[in-house]
Structure 1
Amino acid sequence: MRIYVGNLKYSVTDDELRDMFSDFGDVASADVIKDKFSGQSKGFGFVDMPNNSEAEDAIKALHDSMNDGRKLTVNEARPRTERPPR
């Protein structure tokens, strides 16, 4: 299951994001999304967990939890929608 994690502190790394979820089970990948020009974090990321029940447990436990003074938004990621060209 792909999980969206929002309202992250801009200094959070991929490894720190992985560590947040590893207590709940196997983490296939954890990626903090960065601006492609500046390399600065955009304050959100995605975590892939192969076991859906572990992923659901992580979502329930971490949604609205505090991390470095910020209230996290954690839910199942929605598929990306097509956007019109600029």
Structure 2
Amino acid sequence: MLRIYAGNLPADTTEREFTELFAEHGRVRSIELARDIFSGRCRGFGFVEMEGHEARAAINSLNGHTLRGNCLRVNLERPRGQSGRGRRR
């Protein structure tokens, strides 16, 4: 089971739309769409869990895909603190 990060999602993305986007490439085991606490709108990113070969197919197909004018960033989730950005100490 692999956990996929999807970023640059439109603010009006729904759980159903998010699931259907990835379901075209295999069985979606779970989703987690980050939402704003006050407005309930999508914060622009989410996570999907899929089996390995299906997850790789979804990543290859959806990374760079345009959804309502937004170019999606789709890749494997990186553990926190390993984004490659930030201050160096």
Extract unaligned runs of 5+ from structure 2.
82-89
- Aligned residues: percent identity? 43
Q: Which moved more, 1:27-36 or 1:6-15?
A: 27-36
* Aligned 8 A contact 1:17 1:31 in 2: no
Structure 2 residue identity aligned to 1:29: S
Extract unaligned runs of 5+ from structure 1.
82-86
Following TM superposition, by how much is the alpha carbon of 1:35 offset from its aligned partner in structure 2, in angstroms?
2.0
Q: TM-score, normalised by structure 1?
A: 0.85
Paired residues for 1:60-79 under 5 Å:
60-79=60-79
Match of 2:84 in 1: none
Match of 1:35 in 2: 36
Q: Which moved more, 1:51-60 or 1:38-47?
A: 38-47
- Could you give the per-residue CA deviations for residues 50-81 of structure 1, whole angstroms, max 9, x where no partner exists? x1011001000000111111100000011234
